[in-house]
């Protein structure tokens, strides 16, 4: 099996992203660093590692919904040694976060070993909506909300139109379908606000509902089907 397909099948990332992982020299096969995209591996005999951690071809697709707590990173490995959401989901299958929630952001986080689904959910062209509740440092006016809805000019481009509803004087529910780095916080900062708390309540068809802080559960089959339908995999 070609190495990039092996990594994608193992749930490391999409095949295209796995190409980058290989070119960066992060993959070893039987202890030897490999950067050649044409490399083939034997599924049963070869030992494959990414960033020093063993990678195995998955035996089944796993889909997990986690209520991410404060002060956890959404990366597999953190250079600062901070706690990772990976540590909260203790299962035998290796899963990875879909996208990121900041260290100080809480709420709904999807984790899976389905590389193709991860790629499509993360790609802006599929327009998967993400809903957050932001607690601001001061009152927001209707005029400022209108500005927010129309899009805000950031250093990496203007954001697409979004949905924004004022829940109280300093609390806004905002729904976006892009994935710019720290986008929600930056949008409010552009308008002169600081986000004191940020919590994600919905990701596409998935709702956090009554899942408690720090807990996780497997997605139900209809939820998996709804996710796949949202990105054209049904």
Q: Which two tokens stand for residue 58?
A: 């998955």
Q: Are strands 195-203 and 105-112 parallel, antiparallel or unpaired?
A: parallel
**Residue 90: C-alpha distances to residues 166, 178, 217 (Å):** 38, 30, 11
Distance between CA atoms of residues 75 and 72, nearest Å: 9
Which H or E element spans position 135? strand 130-136
Instruction: Write down how long the chain is.
Output: 234
Active-site hit among 78, 102, 104, 156: 102
Which H or E element spans position 146? helix 142-150
Confirm whether 102 is a catalytic residue: yes
Phi, psi of 138 (to 5 degrees): -160, 175
**Residue 182: C-alpha distances to residues 20, 23, 58, 69, 195 (Å):** 23, 27, 31, 17, 11
Report DSSP letters for 21-71, one per residue: HHHTT-EEETTEEE--TT-B--TTT--EEETTEEE---SS--EEEEEE-SS
Q: Which two tokens stand for residue 224?
A: 């998996």
Distance between CA atoms of residues 152 and 160, nearest Å: 8
Please identify every residue annotated as catalytic.
102
């Amino acid at each position: 099996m070609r190495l990039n397909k092996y990594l994608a099948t193992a749930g490391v990332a999409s095949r295209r992203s796995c190409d980058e992982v290989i070119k960066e020299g992060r993959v070893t096969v039987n202890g030897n660093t490999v950067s050649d995209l044409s490399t083939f591996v034997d599924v049963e005999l070869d030992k494959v590692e990414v960033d020093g951690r063993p990678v195995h071809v998955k035996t089944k697709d796993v889909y997990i919904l986690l209520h991410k707590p404060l002060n956890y990173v959404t990366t597999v490995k953190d250079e600062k040694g901070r706690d990772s959401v990976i540590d909260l989901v203790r299962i035998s299958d290796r899963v990875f976060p879909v996208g990121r929630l900041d260290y100080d952001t809480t709420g709904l986080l999807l984790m899976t070993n389905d590389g193709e689904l991860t790629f499509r959910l993360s790609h802006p062209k599929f327009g998967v909506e993400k809903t957050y509740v932001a607690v601001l440092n001061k009152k927001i006016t209707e005029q400022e909300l209108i500005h927010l809805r129309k899009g805000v000019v950031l250093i990496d481009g203007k954001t697409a139109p979004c949905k924004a509803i004022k829940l109280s004087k300093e609390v806004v529910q905002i729904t976006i379908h892009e994935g710019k780095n720290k986008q929600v916080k930056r949008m409010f900062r552009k308008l002169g606000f600081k986000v004191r708390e940020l919590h994600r309540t919905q990701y596409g068809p998935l709702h956090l509902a009554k899942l408690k802080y720090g807990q996780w559960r497997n997605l139900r089959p209809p939820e998996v089907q709804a996710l796949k339908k949202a990105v054209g995999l049904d």
